[in-house]
Amino acid sequence: MSEDLFERVIRGEVPADVVFQDETTFAFRDIRPQARVHVLVVPRQRYRNLAELAAGDPQLLSDVVATARRVAELEGILESGYRVVFNTDADAGQTVFHVHAHVLGGEPLGFFGAHEG
């Protein structure tokens, strides 16, 4: 499988602001934040998207979700609330095909869904 951007981030070849890491997951700030807190959580092992991760390694999906919660805790937004988003393929705007959870919060978040106009 060819290398992707997030594999390079995990290896430290692309600089990133790392928030948390453990044996199976890696969390770092999004370069173009969409909210005051915007952190990406990726499994170290590459799967293309959420469905492939869920089918291929359910324990690893659970690890990603646990790390999303840990990130919320570290960022001080467990009580105020946060959103976890997995963009999947074209209509969702997925641009990096190494599955990742966006953890968003730190302020009230808007509605989301279809674009107007």
* Residues classed as catalytic: 100
Residue 43's φ and ψ, nearest 5 degrees, are -75, 145
* Minimum CB distance to ligand 5GP, residue 16 (Å): 5
94 binds ligand 5GP (CB under 6 A): yes
14 binds ligand 5GP (CB under 6 A): yes
Which of 32, 108, 110, 116 contacts ligand 5GP by CB under 6 A? Answer: 32
Task: Supply the Cα-derived Rg of the chain in whole angstroms.
Answer: 14
* Minimum CB distance to ligand 5GP, residue 56 (Å): 19
Q: Which two tokens stand for residue 109?
A: 């978040």
With the C-alpha atoms ordered 9, 18, 67, 25, is the resulting torsion angle positive or negative? Answer: positive
Helix, strand, coil content of the chain in percent (nearest 5):
30, 20, 50
95 binds ligand 5GP (CB under 6 A): yes
Judged by CB, which is closer to ligand 5GP: 40, or 79?
40
21 binds ligand 5GP (CB under 6 A): no
Q: Which two tokens stand for residue 76?
A: 């001080």
* Minimum CB distance to ligand 5GP, residue 85 (Å): 7
Identify the three-state secondary structure at position 105: strand
